[in-house]
Chains A and B, each alone.
Chain A
Amino acid sequence: MTRSLLVFLACLLYVGQSFAHGPSRLKVEESIVVKAPAAKVWALIGDFCTIDKWAPGIIKSDCQGGNEIGASRVLTLGKEGGPQIAEELQKYDAATMTYKYKITKTDMTVLPVTTYSSFLSVKDNGDGTSTVGWRAGFYRGHPNNNPPADQNDEAATKAVTGAYQGGLAHIKELAEK
């Protein structure tokens, strides 16, 4: 009993240490096959300003600049007065149905990341279905050593993965209606 406890504590220490040494950039890649043509899916999600139409939990998108590079949106999460995330459009290509944006200001309680950018894409599968891809590169919320548990690599990865899986599932649901 004591020995297993010791082993457990040693493991904790080891895990703690392996994350204690300078952050590495993290990557999340999620995708979903949608039984709808790419054009229909892109019509649903291709507008940078209206992410609140399809992303669960985003109740408002205050947006300026449309789909031009440099356009910005401030997302409100959960409820009026809830946490806010500010984002900026970096690339936009309607022909390949992709856009890329970065976070300019986050709220650590909901999305504990730094230097985050994200790619959203719709690919035509040629059989009436399409694949929506959503992927991001980012660092954890706490940039220095010994991050608190809610701002370490795992917390950051978990938050982004959860948001993307939820978003993609909802895209599928809306597009297949």
Chain B
Amino acid sequence: MNRGVAALTLCALASLAGLAQADDATPLAFITNQGADTVSVISLVDGTTRKTLPVADDPAGVGIDSRHRLAFITSSKSHQLSSIDIDNLTVVNHVDAGITPLGITVDSRSGRVYVADWDGGVVRVFDAMTLGKRGEYKTGATPCGLALTPDGGRLLVANRDDNDVAVIDTVNGVTEARIPVGKAPYGITISPEGHYAFVANVQSDEVTVIDLQALQPSTTLGVGDMPYASAFDPMRGRLFVTNQSDSSVSVLDVVDEREIARIPVGDYPEGIDMQIEARRVYVANWMSNDITVINADTLTVETSIATGDGSRAFGRFILH
């Protein structure tokens, strides 16, 4: 009991210290607005928009490098990868990133930014600081969602039109496996300890769970209409999945292997990310041009925040 009180006090003090600190402790969401050609930068402390940043045509994918304090976005129509300085909220660099750059994942430690080229059939590797090209991996047809294992050693690529997920060794670039999943795999999420990957299959309305030790699918869980992407809550073992065509988020209990809730959100929910400690899930809604904020414990909607036209935020968009 006393220990509990002490811990609580410490927590409170730590939170206060956090509040008192300079601005760079504020968690932010970087939401790509595909129709508006902007990125909405939103404070996750008070829900205010810090800045609406004009960017190159058709921004869709997003990734965050918390170590170098950079956000990355892909603009498919202008074929660009751009980097945003998180402290100044300005676009600092951009580079030609192929035919249709889309999915992004970032390895902060090695400073590598991986970008899937939807029409190019490759993933390119860029240096986070310079955006210089560091490598290229051939993938299957129409690579879109990307995810890295926690050690950065394996890159998972959803090959939408091949209905499989490629597992690429990031050290030698070798494709270790092509794992068959459902129809039209899109967003991929890997659990923090790196045991499981969750793949949203847009056209078969299900999530494939991949066992990353066996490199095989372990189960398939049904969700709503046209699932797009997911976020994992390791504290409760739950996966939150955006259902584009159902305007909802499915909540899966991955231990019990079943859907435990379906939460109505905005229209055409797409990108999704989570603050694990703060217990909040954020969903970008493409049609309704806003973010739905979900309480990860009560599984209810807390609020929604207006963004710009066509919010997609495909990727990890929260700076923690």
Contacts and interface: CB of A to CB of B under 8 A. Distances in A.
Interface of A: 18, 21-22, 24-25, 27, 90-91, 100, 102, 117, 119, 135, 137, 145
A119 B119 contact: no
Interface string B279-315: 0000000110000000000000000000001100000
A90 B268 CA distance: 13
Given A18-B77, A90-B246, A117-B245, A24 B119 contact: no
Contact of B118 (A22, A91, A119): A22
Contacts of A25: 268, 286
B310 A27 contact: yes
B119 A22 contact: yes
B268 A137 contact: yes
A24 B310 CA distance: 11
A22 to B, nearest CB: 4
A145 B60 CA distance: 19
7 contacts: A18-B57, A21-B79, A21-B100, A27-B286, A100-B247, A117-B245, A145-B119
Contacts of B34: 24
A35 B172 CA distance: 68
Contacts of B309: 27
Binding site of A, secondary structure by majority: helix, strand, loop or mixed? strand
Contacts of B162: none
Q: Classify chain B's interface size.
A: 20 to 34
Contact of B225 (A27, A90, A135): A90
A27 B287 contact: yes
A102 B267 CA distance: 14
Contact of B76 (A24, A91, A145): A24
Contacts of B89: none
Binding site of B, secondary structure by majority: helix, strand, loop or mixed? loop
A22 B245 contact: no
Contacts of A135: 287
Given A24-B76, A90-B246, 19 more contacts: A18-B77, A21-B76, A21-B119, A22-B76, A22-B119, A24-B34, A24-B58, A25-B286, A27-B35, A27-B286, A27-B287, A27-B309, A90-B225, A90-B245, A102-B245, A117-B245, A137-B268, A137-B286, A137-B287
Contacts of B247: 91, 100
Across the A-B interface, give the 8 residue pairs with the lowest CB-CB distance, nearest first. Answer: A22-B100, A21-B100, A22-B119, A22-B118, A137-B287, A137-B268, A21-B99, A117-B245
B286 A22 contact: no
A118 to B, nearest CB: 10
Contact of A22 (B99, B246, B310): B99
B245 to A, nearest CB: 6
Interface string B228-262: 00000000000000000111000000000000000
A21 B310 CA distance: 19
A20 to B, nearest CB: 9
Contacts of B100: 21-22
Contacts of A117: 245
Contacts of A90: 225, 245-246
Contacts of A119: 267, 287
Interface string B80-121: 000000000000000000011000000000000000001100
A128 to B, nearest CB: 27
Nearest to A19: B77
A133 B34 CA distance: 22
A100 B247 CA distance: 10
A90 B77 CA distance: 31
Contacts of B118: 22
Contacts of A137: 267-268, 286-287
Contacts of B76: 21-22, 24
A25 B246 CA distance: 16
A52 B287 CA distance: 26
